[in-house]
Amino acid sequence: MPIKDTKETPISYDINLPYDTGNGGISAKAKHSKYAQYFPTWDKVWFDPLPPFEYDDPALRVGDTSLPGLLTEGVKVTHIQPILGSVVEGVQLGRLSDAAKDELAYLISTRKVVVFPDQDLIDAGPDRQEEFMRYFGKPNYQPVSGSIKGHPAFHVIHRDGNKGEIDRFLQQRTTTTLWHQDVSYEIQPPGYVLLGILQGPDVGGDTIFAAADAAYKRLSPRFRSLLDNLEAVHSSTKMINHVRATGGLVRKDPVDTVHPLVRVHPVTGERCLFLNGEFITHFEGLKDPEAKVLMDFLLHHIITGHDFQARIKWSPRALVMFDNRSTIHSASVDYFDDEQGAQPRHVFRLCAMAEKPIPVHEFRE
C-alpha cells in the first residue's frame, strides 16, 4: 500500500519514495491514460536476498568497437557532452539482435548515458520490456516502491498533483535533487539501467547525470590514493524503516553492504567514484565527523562539476539507458507550482544487476 498523505506522516528524505494524495495518487483525468497499466501498485509479495551469481557483461563480447551491428547506415549519433551522453536516432531497441545488444552495452559503457527517442518498445508492454532488460543482467525487485501489478521489477514514479507531499518535503529541504546510484546497497548492484517516459510535463522534469570516472580523475593523485583504499557501507535500512513507520508495504529485509568507494569499470578499466547521497551510512575506519567532511566534499565536487555532467531532456516515448557503475544522477522535480502542485509525470525504471563492485586492488587488466 502506498504512503498515506497525512499531517502525521514523517517527511521523507527522498521525494521519489512512494506517496499517495488520495484516489491512489491518480487523478480522474490520468486514469484515462493509454498507459494506465503502468500506474503504481503495491503487491504483497516477499523477496529473499539475491544469491551471488556470475555476471557476464555483454559489452565484453564486442570485438569490433565501431559497433557495425548497432550503428548501421542511417543511424544518427549526437553527443550531449564531450565525455558523456549521446542521443541515438534510427535505432529501435526492441528489434535488436543479440549481437547488437552486446554492442549497445559497449556503447552505454563508453558513453555512459544514451537517449533513444520515439521507441516502439514503450508500447510493447511490460513483458517485452522486462525480456529486453534480462539480456543485460538479472532483474532487481523493488523493496518498497510502486511497481506494475504482476511485474515487481518495475520501479514506477507517477506524479500528478501531489501538492501536499511536495509542500511537506520542501518545508525541510532546499531542493528536490538527490544524487545517487540506483540500489547501491545490493551486493551486486545494477550495471545497466533502463528509464522510460510514459507521460511528462512540457518543460522540466529533466534527469541530470555526472561522470563518476571524470569526477575521480579531477582529484589530486594523493587524494585519489586515499580514496582507493576506503570502503563505504551502503544500506537500505533508512528507506525501509521510513516506509514501515508510515504504514507502507515492504517486500524485502534491509540490506547493508560494504563496497569500495572507488570501483573499477570492467569494460573501460576506468576508476569511478561509487558514491550515494541516499544510501551510504558511514565509511569503514573513519569517525563520523571525518566521514561527514569527506561525504560533503565529494558530493559537492560532483554536484558542482557541470563540465562532467549531462542534462537529459525527455521527449515522448523516449527510452534512456545508462551505466549505473560510472555515473551518478538525480531527478529534478521542477515542474510544479504553488497552486496546482506537480504536472503529470509518469516514468518507469528497470535495473539489470551486474558484478560485485571491483576494488582498485583487485582489478587485473
Is the pLDDT confidence value at 263 over 60?
A: yes
Judge whether 13 lies within some domain.
Answer: no
- Each residue of 49-66: pLDDT tens digit? 999 999 999 999 999 999
* CA angle (160, 166, 168) in 5-degree steps: 145
Is the pLDDT confidence value at 33 over 80?
A: no
Q: How many domains does the chain have?
A: 1
Judge whether 302 lies within some domain.
Answer: yes
Q: What is the pLDDT of residue 290?
A: 97
Judge whether 101 lies within some domain.
Answer: yes
Computed over every residue of the chain, the mean pLDDT equals 90
Give the C-alpha separation, 192 to 110, whole Å. 12
Q: How many other CB atoms are found less than 10 A from the CB of residue 168? A: 19
209 and 328 in contact (C-beta within 8 Å)?
A: yes
Q: What is the pLDDT of residue 255?
A: 94
Q: Would you list the DSSP string of 80-148?
A: SSSSS-EEEES--GGG--HHHHHHHHHHHHHHSEEEE-S-GGGGS-HHHHHHHHHTTSEEPPPSSS-BB
- pTM reported for the whole predicted model: 0.92
Judge whether 17 lies within some domain.
Answer: no
Judge whether 12 lies within some domain.
Answer: no
Q: What is the pLDDT of residue 278?
A: 87
Judge whether 14 lies within some domain.
Answer: no
- Each residue of 173-216: pLDDT tens digit? 888 788 999 999 999 999 999 999 999 888 999 999 999 999 99
Judge whether 11 lies within some domain.
Answer: no
More confident residue, 164 or 220: 220
Q: What is the pLDDT of residue 1?
A: 43
* Grid coordinates belonging to 94: 526492441
SS3 labels along 242-302? HHHHCCCCCCCCCCEEEEECEEECCCCCCEEECCCCCCEEEECCCCHHHHHHHHHHHHHHH
pLDDT band at 339 (very low <50, low <70, confident <90, very high): confident
3-state secondary structure at position 183: coil
Residue 4 carries which DSSP code? P
Give the C-alpha separation, 132 to 93, whole Å. 8
CATH no. for residue 42? Answer: 3.60.130.10
Mean pLDDT value of segment 3-13: 49
Mean pLDDT value of segment 261-278: 96
3-state secondary structure at position 312: strand
- Each residue of 283-298: pLDDT tens digit? 999 999 999 999 999 9
Give the C-alpha separation, 142 to 358, whole Å. 24
- Alpha-carbon distance values, 274 to 206, 307, 351, 360 (Å): 22, 19, 17, 12
% residues pLDDT > 90 (the chain): 70
Q: Residue 219: give the domain boundaries.
A: 23-49+56-362
pLDDT band at 7 (very low <50, low <70, confident <90, very high): very low
Q: Residue written as cell 547501491?
A: 184
* Grid coordinates belonging to 206: 529533466
Q: What is the pLDDT of residue 14?
A: 57
Residue 192 carries which DSSP code? E
Q: Among 27-41, 179-193, 209-223, 295-309, name the one with the lowest average pLDDT.
A: 27-41
- Each residue of 106-154: pLDDT tens digit? 999 999 999 999 999 999 999 999 999 999 999 999 898 889 999 999 9
Give the C-alpha separation, 103 to 77, whole Å. 14
Judge whether 6 lies within some domain.
Answer: no
Is the pLDDT confidence value at 23 over 60?
A: no
